[in-house]
Structure 1
Amino acid sequence: MSASTQQPLRVLELYSGIGGMHWALEESGIDYEVILAVDINTTANKIYHHNFPDVNLLSFGLEKLSLKKLESLRVNAILMSPPCQPFTRVGKKGDCNDVRTQSFLHLLHLIKQLEKKPTYILVENVKGFETSQTRELLVECLSCCGYTYQEFLLTPLQSGIPNCRLRYYLLAKCFGTFNFSVSPQVFTEMPQMHHRHRAAEHCENKPSSYGLSEDVYSLYSPVSSHPPPSNPNKDDGSSESHTLSTETISKDNVSHAQIGQNIGPISVPDFHNLSSGNPEQELDNHAAELKDAGRNMRYCEEEEKFVNKHSRPLSEFMETLSDKDLNQYLLSDKELRFFVVMDIVFPALKKSICFTKRYGHYVEGAGSVVQMCTDVQVTREASNFKSLAVELQNSQEWQEKELSLLRRLKLRYFTPREVANLLCFPSNFTFPDGVSNIQKYRVLGNSLNVHVVAMLIKLMVT
């Protein structure tokens, strides 16, 4: 891709959190400058500043942003991820009446008044936003200001990343068109561009952080015009769809040698019963047996059509932990009593449920937990026990026998670094000293998938 002759994209990053949008800009390969980042969360700001110390980062509520200040920034792109709580399935759905929505509505009012509109706008939120009154106000604002826009519902699973995180996205371009045909329907796939080899106006001649090919969009099939239905999985509004096309997956989308670069792969268990004939096949067979034995302990979405041979296993995103490090993430006996509502995965699987801000503090619907035990018989016993426990609903009566069985599974939380890996934050994303694991989980749960947003940014400016 040839170097750009254009000026860098001047970006305003709102609700900036821990910098997911900024990392997505970096991965996209475009030439950009973040003029200002704004967030009110002090922990998130501490992490953002630690990773991007040279960015002008301010902490204030966006309802205090003035038209004069916004005009003075002279930005031509606004990237934002407004608070999702007013739109989550398990929340009160206060929508535009929720106090947390007011800053976003204020911003829409400012955009209407701007004499020079930003060329690009990208909005990310939870599934459910697309049916909200706030969304109606957003598209009304964009339409009256001369924007072309397209809405999406996308999940990282479509890129082979083993994590559910179905999210709403909107791309908008002022007084211009995209390099794909827009539709009033919500797209559930990345569109195929009409001129895939045309260089983006703002792209630099540099590789992306995750090995995206320059012609990455040729990997995607034409869009579907039908939005997917909700999934009943319990989380904070991040439920997944099961109707997305298998054609969107490509093994070339992400190079995970770049994710968690200095983190070794998870250790392969020493299976004593392996034959010497074909140990790789034996490992595959053992993983298949383990998967079948523990099927009852998972939400069985690994059957989804877009989880296929090109999907990455969780092991590629996981750390190699010493026994000492592992112990701090093991579930306590108190947490094991919630065994029947857990989504339990193991490293060879290719899917985990969405991580929410409650992860590490709650086990129901807040994210998958990892089974480190590789014993098929133990797994089968635990799976059978779950069936009985669901029927009896007697977890508070469990004694040493039941808890001993569950301890043998060696269930643990994903580490914060592993969650960051599954969200495609690069290896040079780090946390500053003094941030607790609970704080890390909370801000990661409020963040976004960097790779998905990077693809959308590249699509938007091409």
Structure 2
Amino acid sequence: MSHNILELYSGIGGMHCAWNESGLQGKIVAAVDINTVANEVYRHNFPDTKLLTKNIQKLSPQDIKRWKIDTILMSPPCQPFTRNGKYLDDNDPRTNSFLYIIEILDQLDNIDYILMENVKGFESSTVRNLFIDKLKECNFIYQEFLLCPSSFGVPNSRLRYYCTARRKTLTWPFKRKDEIITQLPKDYGLPFSLQTIIEDDVHEKYLLPDKKLKHGNVLDICHRTSKRSCCFTKAYTHYSEGTGSVYTDKSPEMVQKCYEKANLSEVGSDDYVESMKELKLRYFTPKEVLMLMSFPQSYSFPTNTSLKQCYRLLGNSVNVKVISELLKILFEE
């Protein structure tokens, strides 16, 4: 069976990539996002897809029915459910478009399948309760997940909330649970090492500047044989802590020795910085981050997309591998 898909909050097309990766039959009939920079990147990679730069609240139920859509894939704004977003939940105006989709769902009797992604924390929100209540009201059976790419053989941490839903009129072999599932039964093996995604001859513009090396004590450092990396956020390169890992070609032993030497000096001092420079720490390139988020090798950014824009867009995107596996479950016959 072939499906017609509406991709809401389409961003740079992570859901589109996941659909292609899943091997399922169907077509992204339309993608919608209000971010013009993200849309340029989306159009660069998917030039044949109907892409609308508009507020989702401008979409009418009639529009969605006219496109003969049976599936919605979406990743609504996560800021209302994060610490930095002050946990404003349904009081945050950035939830308005998703609340609108929830509101009109009972009019969308053409929709049989839904996959929604959001940040960890969404599961305890008021908006989540409204969403789940609406799914029940509209005769959907659903399953909630909290999953990390590291459980799928990907060396990256990006714990996220997912919800899959399909009409009860459709037989679903998947055995749902009332509780949130945190691990899929399939064994995806251990994460691969970073050496498979590391680029050679990386430009020196990716080297950490001295002002960042001053905060070497909070950096998460990865090397070629690492099988892990931290979650990359849209603030990557802007803040030193909690926004993503940095990379060195040096061995773990060399990293340890440099830290021991640096720690003989006061953190942030000139001597400390000079010791840290020996590691030649650099940021992961956008291409490397794309690989860690399981985007296909063929995916690329337009040449006019700035480095800052690349990182911001990636920080707001999704892990393709996790979603492709959930799509296989959602459409299981």
Partner of 1:28: 22
For this pair of structures, how many residues does the alignment match?
331
Is the CA contact 1:117–1:174 (under 8 Å) kept in the aligned structure 2?
no
Question: 2 CA distance for matches of 1:157 and 1:58?
Answer: 33
- Aligned with 2:255 (options 368, 374, 379): 379
Matched, 1:315 2:224: no
Matched, 1:74 2:83: no
- Aligned with 2:10 (options 9, 16, 21): 16
Is the CA contact 1:148–1:177 (under 8 Å) kept in the aligned structure 2?
no
Describe the SS at the equivalent of 2:163.
strand
Question: 1 CA distance for matches of 2:256 and 2:327?
Answer: 45
Q: Deviations over 1:127-167 (max 9, x none)?
A: 11111110000000000000000000111101111000111
Is the CA contact 2:118–2:162 (under 8 Å) kept in the aligned structure 1?
yes
- Summarize the alignment of residues 6-405 of structure 1 with structure 2, pairs less than 5 Å apart: 6=1, 8-114=2-108, 116-175=109-168, 176-191=170-185, 220=186, 248-250=187-189, 310-321=190-201, 325-374=202-251, 376=253, 378-384=254-260, 394-395=267-268, 398-399=269-270, 401-405=271-275
- Aligned with 1:455 (options 303, 325, 330): 325
Q: Unaligned stretches of 5+ in structure 1? A: 1-5, 192-219, 221-247, 251-309
Question: 2 CA distance for matches of 1:131 and 1:27?
Answer: 30
> What is the deviation of 1:388?
6.4
- Aligned with 2:294 (options 386, 403, 424): 424
Q: Which moved further from structure 2: 51-60 or 310-319?
A: 310-319
Q: Deviations over 1:259-293 (max 9, x none)?
A: xxxxxxxxxxxxxxxxxxxxxxxxxxxxxxxxxxx
Q: Deviations over 1:187-234 (max 9, x none)?
A: 01124xxxxxxxxxxxxxxxxxxxxxxxxxxxx1xxxxxxxxxxxxxx
Describe the SS at the equivalent of 2:276.
helix
> What is the deviation of 1:61?
1.1
Describe the SS at the equivalent of 1:328.
helix
Give 1:446's aligned amino acid: N
Give 1:380's aligned amino acid: Q
Q: Deviations over 1:288-338 (max 9, x none)?
A: xxxxxxxxxxxxxxxxxxxxxx321111111112xxx33111001111111
Q: Deviations over 1:242-261 (max 9, x none)?
A: xxxxxx432xxxxxxxxxxx
Is the CA contact 1:339–1:386 (under 8 Å) kept in the aligned structure 2?
no
- Aligned with 1:445 (options 301, 305, 315): 315
Task: Say if 1:384 and 1:456 are closer, same or farther in 2 by CA, change over 3 A.
Answer: same
Question: 2 CA distance for matches of 1:123 and 1:23?
Answer: 15
Question: 2 CA distance for matches of 1:137 and 1:386?
Answer: 52
Partner of 1:434: 304
User: Which consecutive aligned stretches of 4+ in structure 1 deviate over 4 angstroms post-superposition?
Assistant: 385-389
Question: 2 CA distance for matches of 1:461 and 1:338?
Answer: 47
Give 2:275's aligned amino acid: L
Give 1:313's aligned amino acid: S
How much is the aligned-residue C-alpha RMSD, in angstroms? 1.6
Is the CA contact 2:143–2:165 (under 8 Å) kept in the aligned structure 1?
yes
Identity over aligned pairs, percent: 44
Q: Unaligned stretches of 5+ in structure 2? A: none
Describe the SS at the equivalent of 2:206.
coil
Give 2:199's aligned amino acid: E
Question: 1 CA distance for matches of 2:148 and 2:252?
Answer: 32
* TM-score, with structure 1 as normaliser: 0.69
Of structures 1 and 2, the larger Rg is shown by 1
* TM-score, with structure 2 as normaliser: 0.95
Describe the SS at the equivalent of 1:382.
helix
Question: 2 CA distance for matches of 1:387 and 1:350?
Answer: 26
> What is the deviation of 1:375?
7.6
Is the CA contact 2:262–2:272 (under 8 Å) kept in the aligned structure 1?
no
Q: Which moved further from structure 2: 311-320 or 379-388?
A: 379-388
Describe the SS at the equivalent of 1:418.
helix
Is the CA contact 2:102–2:131 (under 8 Å) kept in the aligned structure 1?
yes
Q: Which moved further from structure 2: 367-376 or 91-100?
A: 367-376
Question: 1 CA distance for matches of 2:13 and 2:45?
Answer: 8
Task: Say if 1:112 and 1:403 are closer, same or farther in 2 by CA, change over 3 A.
Answer: same
Give 1:249's aligned amino acid: Y
Q: Which moved further from structure 2: 102-111 or 60-69?
A: 60-69
Question: 2 CA distance for matches of 1:320 and 1:76?
Answer: 44
> What is the deviation of 1:64?
1.7
